[in-house]
Amino acid sequence: MTARPIRIAPSILSADFSRLGAEVTAIVDGGADYIHVDVMDGHFVPNISFGAVVMKAIRAVTDKPFDVHLMISPVDAYLGEIAKSGADIITVHAEAGPHLHRSLQAIRALGKKAGVALNPATPVSAIQHVIDDVDLVLVMSVNPGFGGQSFIPESLNKLRQAKALIGARDIDLEVDGGVTADNARAIADAGANVFVAGSSVYAGNDPKTYAARIAAIRAAATGRTA
């Protein structure tokens, strides 16, 4: 079980885009800790979502941290624009380019927290030489590109490996993909403390349901009653 504070980060990829500002406000009112922003380019992943312009538009509706997950390649050329558009945490993929260390340095130079994401087939050892340059490690528990996928069970072992690598460092361990109230406790026991939840929060796009769903994931992760 992680000793770090549990953070719930609903992914706006599953929101109703026709009323995105209201959807962000609804999850904030429902208890979200972070706003998870999935940026996809149709190249690194087989889908296109949105970019800095949309981020900037919704930045005005909340001061909650924007946890921005860049599923794009190349990535370095866009870091400045993403930072200026309101990102607080910028996560890049270890697989997205040949110079991961340079990308992480660039993010920190912009005054933002730097994260690194690992696809399901990428071993934790891929980041062992940059671990002191990150603020967040993101373990993908599905193949990135689409919401609504099922959690890959092997991700629990990978989370344990990532937690061991992190050790006592001041680094958050995030999980993204197939997170629900049913598996949140096992995920927390494996060491994660930041939970990205898309369809398990936003399914049906009824704001009246968001608070209870966020509370259920938090309760499961902390072992408390919702």
With 0-12 / 13-18 / 19 or more C-beta atoms within 10 angstroms meaning exposed / middle / buried, residue 208 is exposed
Which of 41, 67, 172, 176 is catalytic? The answer is 176
Q: Which of 38, 64, 49 is nearest to 176 (CA)?
A: 38
In one letter, which amino acid is 124? V
Q: Quick check: is 67 catalytic?
A: no
Q: Quick check: is 176 catalytic?
A: yes
Residues forming a β-bridge with 86:
none
Asked if residues 195 and 155 have their Cβ atoms less than 8 Å apart, the reply is no
Residue carrying structure tokens 């933002």: 112
C-alpha to C-alpha distance for 41 and 132, rounded to whole angstroms? 28
**CB-CB neighbours of 149 under 10 Å:** 15
Query: Can you read off the two tokens belonging to residue 5?
Result: 């504070």
Which of 33, 38, 41, 67 is catalytic? The answer is 38
Q: For 30-143, where are the alpha helices, taking DSSP H only?
A: 52-59, 79-84, 100-109
C-alpha to C-alpha distance for 118 and 175, rounded to whole angstroms? 10
Active site residues: 38, 176
